[in-house]
A = this chain, B = another copy of it.
Amino acid sequence: MRHQITGFSNPTIKRLKSLREKKHRKREGLFLAEGLRILTEALDSGKTPRMLVVVEDSELHPLARKIEAATVAAGGDVIETSEAIIAKLSGKSNPQSIIGIYQDHPVPLEELDRSSANIWLVAQSLRDPGNLGTILRTGDAVGAGGLILIDDCVDPFSVEAVRASMGAIFTQKIVQAKWPDFQSWLRSGPGELVGTSLNTENDYQSVRYTAPTFLLIGNEAQGLPEDYEAACDTLVKMPMMGKADSLNAAVAASVMAYEVLNQSRKR
């Protein structure tokens, strides 16, 4: 159904705005995604919004009309509201004109089918939502199966992470797991765990990776803890020609992921 809402203090608007905070997302099992591009990606991946927010009195783009129809068909509400309220929900001064509210979709580790992809990304205590979203986006690009979040990672369903994922939040499987549980699961089937490290002489291009390859990405400031490095089957390093000894976490993950993809393209 279509509703018009004009007040900031409307309970629905307040509830949607609360989804910008992790605890409310967690309680409701819902998250916000903005913009026609990301919402179209969602629809193409079979995800329909529980609720759709659009700018009032605006001519909807044909793609937006398609998303609206899908929302209504699935029993969801469509809310027309002001640009100011949409900006409030989005947290951006110059927001997209369409916001979808989706059910979050973490996958339990034991339900993951590791044979469904050759590459899996694994992040440990990743703190930056932009990095997390960017890694999801790269995961989609290299045909990875999903992202396994170990320990205390930032929430993948945060507005910033969803935005940076450019829709990959809907195409990549998202798993949250404790390190010991991940290790047991990993070792219960085929899979090579690969970490990047300063404590190795293995050039990342000199190693032949075997599928499924699990690429372990460490925390932005600390890198991987020693015992996590020790648990890897393979440690590699990328050439660093300058003064710095590390890359941005999303960049390192992406350069590694493309190397693994490129090797499989040459087979």
Contact = CB atoms under 8 A, between A and B. Distances in A.
Nearest to A250: B251
Given A251-B251, A255-B255, A244 B130 contact: no
Contacts of A137: 244, 247-248, 251
Contact of A247 (B205, B246, B254, B262): B254
A239 B265 CA distance: 10
Contacts of A246: 166
Contacts of A41: 243-244
B140 A244 contact: yes
Copies of this chain held together in the complex: 2
B143 A248 contact: no
**Chain A interface size, under 10 / 10 to 19 / 20 to 34 / 35 or more:** 35 or more
Interface in A235-267: 238-244, 246-248, 250-251, 254-255, 258, 261-262, 265
Nearest to A261: B239
Interface string A202-213: 000100000000
Contacts of A262: 205
Contacts of A143: 241-242
A197 interface: no
A138 B251 CA distance: 8
Given A45-B243, A243-B140, A164 B248 contact: yes
Contacts of A168: 242-244
Contacts of A166: 244, 246, 248
A140 B239 contact: no
A166 to B, nearest CB: 6
A112 interface: no
A238 B257 CA distance: 12
Contacts of A134: 248, 250-251
A45 B244 CA distance: 12
A44 interface: yes
Contact of A248 (B45, B240, B244, B250): B250
A260 B9 CA distance: 55
A174 to B, nearest CB: 15
A142 interface: yes
